[in-house]
Amino acid sequence: MNELVLKKTPGPEIGGPLVFVVLDGIGIGSQDERDGVYVSYTPNLDELLNEPLQARLKAHGPAVGLPTDDDMGNSEVGHNALGAGRIFSQGAKLVNEAIADKSLFSGTAWRQVEKHAAQGGTIHFIGLISDGNVHSHIHHLYALLDRCAEVGIKSLRIHGLLDGRDVGQKSALSYFEPLEKRLAELSSDGKDYRIGSGGGRMVTTMDRYNANWDVVENGWRAHVLGEGRRFISATEAISTYYEENPDITDQYMESFVIEEDGAPVGTIEDGDGVVFFNFRGDRAIELSRAFEENDFAEFDRKRIPEVFYAGMMQYDGDALIPKNFLVEPPAINRTIGEYLCATGIPSYAASETQKYGHVTYFWNGNKSGYIDESLEKYEEIPSDKVEFDKRPWMKADELTDSLIYALRSNKYGFHRINYPNGDMVGHTGVEAAVRIAVETVDMCLGRLIKEVQKTGGILVVTADHGNADCMWTEKEGKRTPMVAHTKNPVPFVIKDFGGENRFVLADIENGGLANIAATLITLLGFEPPADYEPSLVNRIDGDTKG
């Protein structure tokens, strides 16, 4: 017998579909004028939050596998926890451990980096320069630099991407100035350590889910070919862009190239070593493909240097992207998707492009593709290629249409979707846009409530982390847009249209996202795996009339 087949719980059949909705980036905030969720008109969410089956869940720090309570959550670790039902060491924590015990520097990939340097190659580090700890942490870069200096690597270049999304909107100089100073200090005894290129993360290199390959091409041209607007230093580039456009924010800053004597200082050439030091996968996969694929056709690379390329981690375990990596990713098995497929429960998953991978790849434990295509349907609604504050409604209505169509087909026992608006628009820091985003999602939620009610099913609503719930911070009377994720709790609500008194809240202290998988299995009428974080509800006998 397949050990992943779930055992039914005693009692009548639950009946009706289960619909699981992730309101990405919509946490429970301070409930004042800076809270974009609180100040928005959200009658449907307000009503749900008065349901008896509701709780506040942790979505950051150790609750999702991150090092400390100072670490904000993110969509990737959040959906890992949602789908896995257990807490795994994630991203930054894995890298911290590998640096602390020096296993990072004893692995095959790092030895190849040092080998290429010993043979005269330049070592290039590409990644996000901040301490946001969502895609990268600058402390990891400093550890890599220190190791390079320690072993006597002579030539090193950094291709630094500006954040302005997981940290302050215009905070780049606070990272690049000390970085340039540190590189200058390390450039002794014949060593030459410099920044070679850079640019804002949303226009240079860090595209995801094939949303806009122009972003990756911009990065390739700057990092590899040395094509772009030229400056004598990264700090000069950043300062110049600020002066020319006071409204510009770091994440949307154009690419730049550092030059000396009229030539770029950091082009990537045959024999070099290249490390993408971001630990999070979604925005690192596409550039990795550009370095590794022989039949690459997404844009004209013009020149393809023969290099040794490695990621901080393997960003896609199924597609093996990249082939070489410094730190092993978390091995996540026995996800809820695997259990549901083994039990024969058909599932539907959908989002628009910006979060499609979260309800598929991350939900399934960092694995691409279907678990069982005969039982699953994944649907991607193409995202608009515009700045999110320009169309804050995004594709929420189309996404709702797709879910309603799936519900009416009566094909699936379990449905999951992600509304990206609260997160993607929350990152812009534009208050009016944030409110429209939140209200758009609430309107769509109202449509879903009516549809699930018709089916006699169960609606479950939560979020993967906060964002829109804090639009700005204030210090000494000055407001600064808050564009990063928050560490606020997230809502968790169950609306059961299949009958009264079928479930009751369990006595769970410090519940988090990882508790949701067992809860969903319980709501489907099965016993959760013994090693899953416990269900937030217990099934009870009672009136099961609709």
**Strand pairing class (458-462; 325-327):** unpaired
| Banded pLDDT at 49 (limits 50, 70, 90) | very high
Which residue would you say has higher pLDDT here, 482 or 359?
A: 359
Given this model, what pLDDT does residue 476 score? 82
Residues 18-41 have pLDDT tens digits of 999 999 999 999 999 999 999 999
| Banded pLDDT at 546 (limits 50, 70, 90) | very low
Please check the confidence at residue 72 and state whether its pLDDT lies above 90.
no
Residues 312-335 have pLDDT tens digits of 998 876 578 999 999 977 779 999
Residues 438-447 have pLDDT tens digits of 999 999 999 9
CA dihedral 102, 108, 109, 111 (to 10 degrees): 70
Please check the confidence at residue 542 and state whether its pLDDT lies above 60.
no
CB atoms within 10 A of CB 529: 18
Give exposure, 207-246, as e/b (b: 16+ Cβ within 10 Å): bbbebbeebbbbbbbbbbbbbbebbebbbebbbebbeeee
Are 381 and 393 in contact by the 8 Å Cβ rule? The answer is no
Structure tokens at 369: 């593709």
State how far the Cα of 533 lies from the Cα of 508, in Å rounded to an integer: 10
User: Which residues have CB under 8 Å from 140's CB, separation 6+?
Assistant: 92, 95, 99, 277, 279, 312
Return the half-sphere exposure (C-beta side, CA atoms, 13 A cut-off) of residue 203: 18
Question: From the candidates 75, 136, 255, 402, which is the catalytic residue?
Answer: 75
Mean pLDDT, residues 445-451? 98
- Specify whether domain 92-327 bears CATH 3.30.60.50: no
The boundaries of every CATH 3.40.720.10 domain in the chain are 18-89+331-539
Mean pLDDT of the chain: 95
Neighbouring-strand partners of residue 258: 231
pTM for the whole structure: 0.77
Q: Give the residue carrying structure tokens 């009751």.
A: 504
| Banded pLDDT at 257 (limits 50, 70, 90) | very high
Given this model, what pLDDT does residue 477 score? 86
The boundaries of every CATH 3.40.1450.10 domain in the chain are 92-327
| Banded pLDDT at 543 (limits 50, 70, 90) | very low
Please check the confidence at residue 534 and state whether its pLDDT lies above 90.
yes
Given this model, what pLDDT does residue 104 score? 96
Given this model, what pLDDT does residue 541 score? 64
Residues 137-176 have pLDDT tens digits of 999 999 999 999 999 999 999 999 999 999 999 999 999 9
> Which range (94-98, 393-397, 474-478) has the least confidence?
474-478
Residues 182-205 have pLDDT tens digits of 999 999 999 999 999 999 999 999
Helix orientation angle between 75-84 and 336-343, rounded to the nearest 10 degrees: 40
Are 63 and 87 in contact by the 8 Å Cβ rule? The answer is yes
Residues 290-302 have pLDDT tens digits of 999 999 999 999 9
Q: Give the residue carrying structure tokens 């959550």.
A: 73
155 is catalytic: no
* Backbone dihedral angles phi then psi of residue 521, each to the nearest 5 degrees: -65, -40
- Classify burial at 326, counting beta carbons within 10 Å of its beta carbon; exposed 0-12, middle 13-18, buried 19 or more: buried
Structure tokens at 348: 């539907």
State how far the Cα of 243 lies from the Cα of 238, in Å rounded to an integer: 9
Residues 106-138 have pLDDT tens digits of 999 999 999 999 999 999 999 999 999 989 999
| CATH code given to domain 18-89+331-539 | 3.40.720.10
State how far the Cα of 414 lies from the Cα of 340, in Å rounded to an integer: 9
